[in-house]
Structure 1
Amino acid sequence: MANQKEFDYILPGRAESYWLATTPESNYPALHGDIHVDIAIIGGGIVGLTTAYLLKEAGFSSIAVIEAGHILRGVTGHTTAKVTSQHHLIYDRLISKFGKRQAQQYAESNQAAIEKIDSIVNSRQIDCDFVRKPAYVYAGSGDSTGKIQKEVQAARQLGLPASFEEKLPLPFETYGAVRFSNQAQFHPTKYLNALTGEIHGDGCHIFEKTRALKIEGENPTTVTTDKGTVTAQKVIQATHYPIHDKPGMFFQRLYQSRSYVLGIRIRDPFPDGMFINAEEPARSLRSQRTDGGELVLVTGEGHRTGEEENETVHYQNLEKWVRSIYSVDSVDYRWSTQDTISVDHVPYIGRLTSDNDNIFLATGFKKWGMTTGTVAAMIITDMILGRSNPWEEVYDPSRFKPVESAKTLISQAIEATKGLVGDRILPTHKEASDIAPGGGAIVKIEGERVAAYRDQNGTLHTLDPSCKHMGCIVSWNDAERTWDCPCHGSRYNATGEVIHSPAVYGLSEKKVKK
């Protein structure tokens, strides 16, 4: 097990998202006691805050946003912040599996989300580095050229600003690309921090350090938190992965994936555009203007949450790849992010179930949450206002596409079963004494499986490794020093406190002889 110095050597750069490093941490109050509001929104990321902003703008004066930690410190604060309707190679598949009409809804809604963000930035004069850029998916090998050409054809059928490009301004060979013109990128926390100033006050609230624990009842609905209750006519789950996931069986229809980001400085100017390859492993590139010059964000190495024992290798792979194509002056930042993916790769946005008019959710954005999260806010706002929305059908959480979903549902069930019985997460040390400071592992002590972490002072913390969501066995993430669940993606810090839902309670302490 690596010690602290080895960790610092293996993982270069500051261990923080650039977005969070360059915006101040918020300081909204926690909930104290019980309140009644018209709208309760669980989650303080792009979906929750944009929805609160749009609803208040539409005339609602009693809204509560509930955030377990600090707003924007979750998935939204760890994005690569592309504002684009180009979601990898999606449109040819959407036409094939969903039909042209619903593929059109997906295309139009994400184009509209770009314009909505642009409109808000301009109307509120928000300084958030919003800039229009072309977005490219390129073929990294000749085998992918045909897929690129099909995607161009499909996207153009749907009226998207797509074209085929033979050559790209990248320092390695490519084999054609689909280009979407007039897309965008921005600084997400600067943008959303500006919206919070419009939300909080005049009967509307943002409550931080207030964890939602359960949702009960209809008309009204009560959200029980660790600081009191919020009773509302409408409740919106904007928690990335819904904490209330049994109605609708979302735990069977979602899984979570991790990917990695390096923020680097290179010697040559970065070309105009945002780039991602068509193959696996993913390699995504975009630049960001900073006070210290241009920062290039290098992203990729995705894998299912909790399935790997050595996650430091993903940062190493990204660094090795980018150094092979650019002269790198420094690696300034590193961070990881988590994405929720639906079985048919289209988000679930709308009513929790078809017969529930009071609880809404937005989840499954895959890796494109800046636009689809904004789409979610627009759709749910229309639903609450009783307005017809032209895109809600394709995102309906009650949908089921047998051809597209069946194989993934079976795979999801198999993965969850492995996590429940712990087949994949075998003890990695014979003795807890093998764990060095800063390290963790699943070990066996007195015949029982234990999640053990040794802090920098040498104290061993021992936890029950059963995830509080549905009892799967967590695994140790050596890159982030967290406990990650391989079944549904819950994550906990080294001492067992919840980082990512669907779990809402921390891992239990397990008393053992040390």
Structure 2
Amino acid sequence: MANDAKNDDRPTYPESLWRESVSLPRFPKLNKTIQVDVGIVGGGITGLTAAYLLTKKGLKVAVLESSKLLNGTTGHTTAKVTAQHGLIYDELIQHFGEEKAKLYYQACSDAMQFIKDRITEHNIDCDFSREDAYVYTNSDQYVSKIEKELKAYSRLGIDGEIVEQIPFNIPIKNAIVMKNQAQFHPLNYLKTFIDYIKEHGGLIFEDTTATDVDNGTQPAIVTSDGYRVKCDRVIAASHFPFYGGEGYYFARMYPHRSYVIALKANEKFPGGMYINAEDPPRSLRSTLINGEELWLVIGENHKTGQGKPTMEHYQALESFAEQLVGIEEYRYRWSAQDLTTIDKVPYIGYVAKDQPEVLIATGFNKWGMTSGTIAGMILTDVIIGEDNPYLELYTPSRFHADPDLRKFASINADVTKQLISGKLQFTTNKIEDVQNDDAKVVRIKGKRAGVYRDKEGKAHIVDTTCTHMGCEVNWNSGERTWDCPCHGSRFSIDGEVIEGPAQQPLQTYETNE
């Protein structure tokens, strides 16, 4: 582990270096009913890419963001722009066939080229660099999987090879490299889209939560304040779909969190982007912030609301980094939540066959820079009536017997387990037992409640029953949030919704302390 001086320099609160290193414009809250061509819910890479493209086509758009632009998964990404999504291509060939596996690779490649072309077109300074992407292993089990992946690369025409070493003091048995991938500063890139949308008549609203779509004579997005965005088409790009998810999407995806620390190291980063094949996940890349090189050390995936205390995940990454390279200064830490579909391919397209006016994009499986970009491109083509070669591949209505049925059963068995175990959990904790900047589950009048005591000693008390489907939320010490282990809803210390599928806040309690 790092020494005591370095421990004292650890960031107290999670802060994404992307958000800390860029100044984004602020936008008002929607306070009236409006009329546009396309209403877009979600101010991340998908929503902003679609809004940018539709604005260029002359359509009037309105983007609604429930908090601040780029404050969700896009603002907390690792920002790899790559078609190398782990050891996925052999699996895609097995489950989808060679033609669709090739389409997946081509879609990712098109997204990378789109990003590069926009950077050139608008002369965007976002530290874009071409890098080779490696998957390495020290496990005998994954050596054969990497060899199969190389055969898949060959069948699909992917530029790659197996190598026996990587430029780190990490024991490996072999690795596969995909050549000529990329990385960048995602918010500096997307800030240009925000400026373009605003300058060309697009509307953007922050702190505006969409709760429903009214499918009357004309679709209308309904907000939590009762205002409407009347439009011809709706795009749900809100990470978890705010519409069409009940009884459907939450049962076909699972949420997981991963962690990032950004540090100044004792050595120069050797170039490239790296991720291991086995557990626990470990990923490496670098970035330049104000001309200074920082290492990004990423990993520690787990299902949201489950597992060990979240601060231990940051500590594990810190220990790994200290042993790998030595930490000169610990600058940032943050985490992100991702959704993975049961077949690992995102859902992009019509929310339902009988509702062509509503489109969604979700389930990016940690690879949101390419998947979010291709989503914006596909949804734009659908809206303007152009054919897109990838629409069928990503269609949300697809269902394949293998692996879908097994994964579907596994996801929902885990939900049932979490629901029951949360209800049966017993605690003898009392409110007065909770220390400053800590949280515990207690009982208030026989009901399970969560108490967080802030640094000033004030107690924030919430009912721990998730407002989505009634599971019991657990404390996330790393982000100071209450997280649902069933479907990934997350709530603030005062019960406000941070991430769905929940739409209603947790009930709160007053204290007589």
Residues in 1 aligned to 2:247 and 2:380: alpha-carbon distance in whole angstroms: 21
Of the structure 1 ranges 207-216 and 136-145, higher mean CA displacement relative to structure 2 is found in 136-145
Counterpart of 1:42 in structure 2 is 41
Counterpart of 2:264 in structure 1 is 265
What amino acid does structure 2 have at the position aligned with 1:253? R
Query: Is the counterpart of residue 297 in structure 1 residue 293 in structure 2?
Result: no
Query: Is the counterpart of residue 83 in structure 1 residue 81 in structure 2?
Result: yes
Any conservation in 1 of the 2:14–2:335 contact (CA below 8 Å)? no
Any conservation in 2 of the 1:309–1:475 contact (CA below 8 Å)? no
Counterpart of 2:164 in structure 1 is 166
Any conservation in 1 of the 2:284–2:298 contact (CA below 8 Å)? yes
Residues in 2 aligned to 1:422 and 1:9: alpha-carbon distance in whole angstroms: 37
Counterpart of 2:135 in structure 1 is 137
Residues in 1 aligned to 2:396 and 2:189: alpha-carbon distance in whole angstroms: 28
CA deviations 1:406-462 (Å, max 9, x no partner) are 121112112222343343883555212111112222211222111222222322222
1:287 to partner: Cα distance: 0.5
Residues in 2 aligned to 1:277 and 1:56: alpha-carbon distance in whole angstroms: 40
Any conservation in 2 of the 1:492–1:498 contact (CA below 8 Å)? yes
Any conservation in 1 of the 2:44–2:69 contact (CA below 8 Å)? yes
Of the structure 1 ranges 276-285 and 171-180, higher mean CA displacement relative to structure 2 is found in 171-180
Counterpart of 1:121 in structure 2 is 119
Counterpart of 2:376 in structure 1 is 377
Residues in 1 aligned to 2:436 and 2:414: alpha-carbon distance in whole angstroms: 31
Counterpart of 1:182 in structure 2 is 180
Any conservation in 2 of the 1:15–1:335 contact (CA below 8 Å)? yes
Residues 425 and 127 of structure 1, relative CA distance in 2, 3 Å threshold: farther
Residues in 2 aligned to 1:115 and 1:107: alpha-carbon distance in whole angstroms: 12
Residues in 2 aligned to 1:126 and 1:383: alpha-carbon distance in whole angstroms: 27
Any conservation in 1 of the 2:39–2:233 contact (CA below 8 Å)? yes
Counterpart of 1:52 in structure 2 is 51
CA deviations 1:470-498 (Å, max 9, x no partner) are 22211111111100011111111111111
Counterpart of 1:306 in structure 2 is 305
Aligned to 1:152, what secondary structure does the other structure show? helix
Residues in 2 aligned to 1:10 and 1:442: alpha-carbon distance in whole angstroms: 30
Any conservation in 2 of the 1:212–1:504 contact (CA below 8 Å)? no
Aligned to 2:372, what secondary structure does the other structure show? helix
What amino acid does structure 2 have at the position aligned with 1:128? C
Any conservation in 1 of the 2:437–2:455 contact (CA below 8 Å)? yes
Residues in 1 aligned to 2:44 and 2:457: alpha-carbon distance in whole angstroms: 36
1:342 to partner: Cα distance: 0.7
Any conservation in 1 of the 2:84–2:133 contact (CA below 8 Å)? yes
Any conservation in 1 of the 2:14–2:478 contact (CA below 8 Å)? no
State the number of aligned residues.
507
CA deviations 1:116-153 (Å, max 9, x no partner) are 00000100111111111111111123332111111111
Counterpart of 2:144 in structure 1 is 146
Counterpart of 1:360 in structure 2 is 359
TM-score of the two chains, using structure 2 as the length reference: 0.95
CA deviations 1:197-238 (Å, max 9, x no partner) are 111144320111111122221552111113421111100010
Residues 104 and 65 of structure 1, relative CA distance in 2, 3 Å threshold: same
Counterpart of 2:337 in structure 1 is 338
Aligned to 1:330, what secondary structure does the other structure show? strand
Counterpart of 1:439 in structure 2 is 438
Aligned to 2:144, what secondary structure does the other structure show? helix
Counterpart of 2:90 in structure 1 is 92
Query: Is the counterpart of residue 411 in structure 1 residue 410 in structure 2?
Result: yes
Any conservation in 2 of the 1:442–1:449 contact (CA below 8 Å)? yes
CA deviations 1:250-285 (Å, max 9, x no partner) are 011011100100001112111110000010110000
Residues 172 and 203 of structure 1, relative CA distance in 2, 3 Å threshold: closer
1:245 to partner: Cα distance: 3.3
Any conservation in 2 of the 1:285–1:296 contact (CA below 8 Å)? yes
Structure 2: tracts of 5 or more residues without a match? none
Residues in 2 aligned to 1:513 and 1:422: alpha-carbon distance in whole angstroms: 30
Counterpart of 2:486 in structure 1 is 487
What amino acid does structure 1 have at the position aligned with 2:184? F
Counterpart of 1:155 in structure 2 is 153
1:335 to partner: Cα distance: 0.5
Any conservation in 2 of the 1:427–1:442 contact (CA below 8 Å)? no
Any conservation in 1 of the 2:9–2:330 contact (CA below 8 Å)? no
Residues in 2 aligned to 1:78 and 1:494: alpha-carbon distance in whole angstroms: 20
Residues in 1 aligned to 2:247 and 2:417: alpha-carbon distance in whole angstroms: 23
Residues in 1 aligned to 2:254 and 2:129: alpha-carbon distance in whole angstroms: 32
Counterpart of 1:241 in structure 2 is 240
Residues 246 and 167 of structure 1, relative CA distance in 2, 3 Å threshold: closer
What amino acid does structure 1 have at the position aligned with 2:109? Q
Any conservation in 1 of the 2:24–2:191 contact (CA below 8 Å)? no
Residues in 2 aligned to 1:292 and 1:370: alpha-carbon distance in whole angstroms: 23
Counterpart of 1:253 in structure 2 is 252
Counterpart of 1:214 in structure 2 is 212
Counterpart of 1:64 in structure 2 is 62
Aligned to 1:469, what secondary structure does the other structure show? coil
Query: Is the counterpart of residue 195 in structure 1 residue 196 in structure 2?
Result: no
Counterpart of 1:457 in structure 2 is 456
Residues in 2 aligned to 1:295 and 1:497: alpha-carbon distance in whole angstroms: 34
Residues 356 and 98 of structure 1, relative CA distance in 2, 3 Å threshold: same
1:73 to partner: Cα distance: 0.9
Any conservation in 2 of the 1:128–1:187 contact (CA below 8 Å)? yes
What amino acid does structure 2 have at the position aligned with 1:457? E
What amino acid does structure 2 have at the position aligned with 1:105? L
Residues in 2 aligned to 1:425 and 1:387: alpha-carbon distance in whole angstroms: 53
1:58 to partner: Cα distance: 1.9
What amino acid does structure 2 have at the position aligned with 1:404? P
Residues in 2 aligned to 1:263 and 1:328: alpha-carbon distance in whole angstroms: 10
1:12 to partner: Cα distance: 4.6
Counterpart of 2:286 in structure 1 is 287
1:381 to partner: Cα distance: 0.8
Of the structure 1 ranges 173-182 and 373-382, higher mean CA displacement relative to structure 2 is found in 173-182
1:505 to partner: Cα distance: 2.1
Residues 10 and 449 of structure 1, relative CA distance in 2, 3 Å threshold: farther
Counterpart of 1:467 in structure 2 is 466
Any conservation in 2 of the 1:165–1:176 contact (CA below 8 Å)? yes
CA deviations 1:368-408 (Å, max 9, x no partner) are 00000001011111111111111112211000011111121
RMSD of aligned residue pairs (Cα, Å): 1.9
Residues in 2 aligned to 1:379 and 1:388: alpha-carbon distance in whole angstroms: 9
Aligned to 2:361, what secondary structure does the other structure show? strand
Any conservation in 2 of the 1:128–1:191 contact (CA below 8 Å)? yes
Any conservation in 1 of the 2:79–2:185 contact (CA below 8 Å)? yes
Of the structure 1 ranges 396-405 and 419-428, higher mean CA displacement relative to structure 2 is found in 419-428
Counterpart of 1:501 in structure 2 is 500
What amino acid does structure 1 have at the position aligned with 2:344? H
Aligned to 1:423, what secondary structure does the other structure show? helix
